[in-house]
A and B are shown apart, each in its own frame.
Chain A
Amino acid sequence: MHSFGYRANALLTFSITILALMCAMASVSDNFNTPTTSAQVQVLNINWFQKQPNGNDEVSMTLNISADLQSLFTWNTKQVFVFLAAEYETPKNSLNQISLWDGIIPTKEHAKFWIHTSNKYRFIDQGSNLRGKEYNLTMHWHVMPKTGKMSADKIVMPGYRLPVEYR
């Protein structure tokens, strides 16, 4: 009844239960955080804008991205993955969603940032629809927890327009 095996078993079961409970509570506590975030993106320059030999439009741009995501961080946050996507509609596709830039924010101290960058991933259309195209820039973020449920949200910034002519 009180053998070593029984005691070891009871101790192990108890500690695993407590650990699981603590993980669950840490994850639940994230729900009490209501973040307020802000983001601004400026397209400073269209570096070049042309039609590839295969007929697809490609554009390269310089962006100024600034955001304040500090309120996303709680004690259960491991990192925040943030990315900026261009979103637009064409006759062929009801949705085109292209990531232009992304970054990993490791701590709250780095969560208020601004960056001056050209697009990290290529902005290519499936076809030749980009001239004069109106598009949204959307700042997405993905909160990765130390343990438990992951969450994501976004800020949509509408009303950007590409130039009418290639350059």
Chain B
Amino acid sequence: MGWVADTLHSVTSIQLRELFNHFISLGLIVTSALVIWKVLICVSGCQSPVVVVISASMEPGFGRGDILFLHTSKDPIRAGDIVVYNIDGKDIPIVHRVIEVRERQNTEEAYILTKGDNNPSDDRVMYNPGQKWLQEHHIMGRAVGFLPYVGWVTIIMTDIPVLKYILIGALGLLVLTMKE
């Protein structure tokens, strides 16, 4: 009867090994994605180094679904820069162009006014009531690079959340069932 147990053992151990292999390769994919993201954060100095444009306010330069790469540097912000800013209490970052800068003489604090290229008026209507200027702590980064259309993937996925789970499920299934 010994050979039956042996065979059974060898079969289960192979399957177990294969299963482990699949989980490890799945883990590798997830961790390498994380590593790439974290490296991007280090290089750019931004909390979120990539943003997807979701409005048409910068048309025809940037359209919905385009991707911008951000960079944070010590260089002061000047008129013409395209900045990503976050108004206190609102969580959707906005990508607009700086049209006015006032830099204080003694403190070197900068007061910044922005406007979307495609908007008829400046952004004061979008700031909090009574807020006239953006300051350094509102600014998340400066746009330095541009990649068209790629952001549509995330826009579609946030619009139709079911799609996200289907995609993640399908990818997971694919990795787990792949034969070596």
Residues of chain A at the chain B interface (Cβ within 8 Å):
5, 23, 27, 78-79, 81, 83, 85, 90-99, 102, 104, 106, 121, 126, 140, 142, 144-150, 152, 154
Residue in B61, B81, B104, B144 whose beta carbon sits within 8 Å of that of A94 in the complex:
B104
Question: Do A146 and B148 have beta carbons less than 8 Å apart?
Answer: yes
Assuming the contacts A93-B103, A94-B108, asked whether A142 and B147 have C-beta atoms less than 8 A apart, the reply is: no
Query: Cβ of B80 < 8 Å from any Cβ of A?
Result: yes
Residue of B nearest to A91 (CB): B105
Tell me what chain A mostly uses at the interface: helix, strand, loop, or mixed.
strand
Residues of B within 8 A of A102 (CB): 99, 117
Residues of A within 8 A of B78 (CB): 97
Return the 6 tightest CB-CB contacts between A and B, nearest first. Answer: A99-B99, A95-B103, A97-B101, A97-B79, A140-B80, A144-B61
- Expressed in whole angstroms, the Cα–Cα distance for A94 and B108 within the complex equals 8
Of the A-B pairs whose beta carbons lie under 8 Å apart in the complex, a sample of 21, sorted by A's number, is A91-B105, A93-B103, A93-B105, A94-B105, A97-B78, A97-B79, A98-B79, A99-B79, A102-B99, A102-B117, A104-B117, A106-B60, A140-B80, A142-B97, A144-B62, A146-B148, A147-B146, A148-B147, A150-B146, A152-B80, A154-B80
Assuming the contacts A97-B78, A140-B79, A140-B80, asked whether A104 and B104 have C-beta atoms less than 8 A apart, the reply is: no
Assuming the contacts A78-B61, A81-B117, asked whether A98 and B100 have C-beta atoms less than 8 A apart, the reply is: yes
Question: Do B148 and A147 have beta carbons less than 8 Å apart?
Answer: yes
A133 nearest CB across to chain B (Å): 15
Question: Do B104 and A85 have beta carbons less than 8 Å apart?
Answer: no
Residues of A within 8 A of B82 (CB): 142, 150
Residues of chain B at the chain A interface (Cβ within 8 Å):
60-62, 78-82, 97, 99-105, 108, 117, 122, 143-148, 174, 178
- Expressed in whole angstroms, the Cα–Cα distance for A83 and B147 within the complex equals 24
Residues of A within 8 A of B146 (CB): 144-145, 147-150
Question: Do A92 and B60 have beta carbons less than 8 Å apart?
Answer: no
Residue in B79, B105, B143, B178 whose beta carbon sits within 8 Å of that of A150 in the complex:
B143
Residue of B nearest to A20 (CB): B147
A130 nearest CB across to chain B (Å): 14
Residue of B nearest to A27 (CB): B145
Residues of B within 8 A of A142 (CB): 80, 82, 97
Question: Do B60 and A95 have beta carbons less than 8 Å apart?
Answer: no
- Expressed in whole angstroms, the Cα–Cα distance for A64 and B148 within the complex equals 35
Residues of A within 8 A of B61 (CB): 78-79, 81, 104, 144
Assuming the contacts A146-B148, A148-B145, A149-B144, asked whether A93 and B102 have C-beta atoms less than 8 A apart, the reply is: yes
Identify 10 new A-B residue pairs, CB closer than 8 A, beyond the known A81-B97, A97-B78, A140-B79.
Answer: A78-B61, A81-B80, A85-B79, A96-B103, A99-B80, A99-B100, A106-B60, A147-B146, A148-B145, A152-B81
A157 nearest CB across to chain B (Å): 15
Residues of B within 8 A of A99 (CB): 79-80, 99-100
Residue in A81, A96, A148 whose beta carbon sits within 8 Å of that of B102 in the complex:
A96
A147 nearest CB across to chain B (Å): 6
Residue in B79, B105, B108, B145 whose beta carbon sits within 8 Å of that of A149 in the complex:
B145
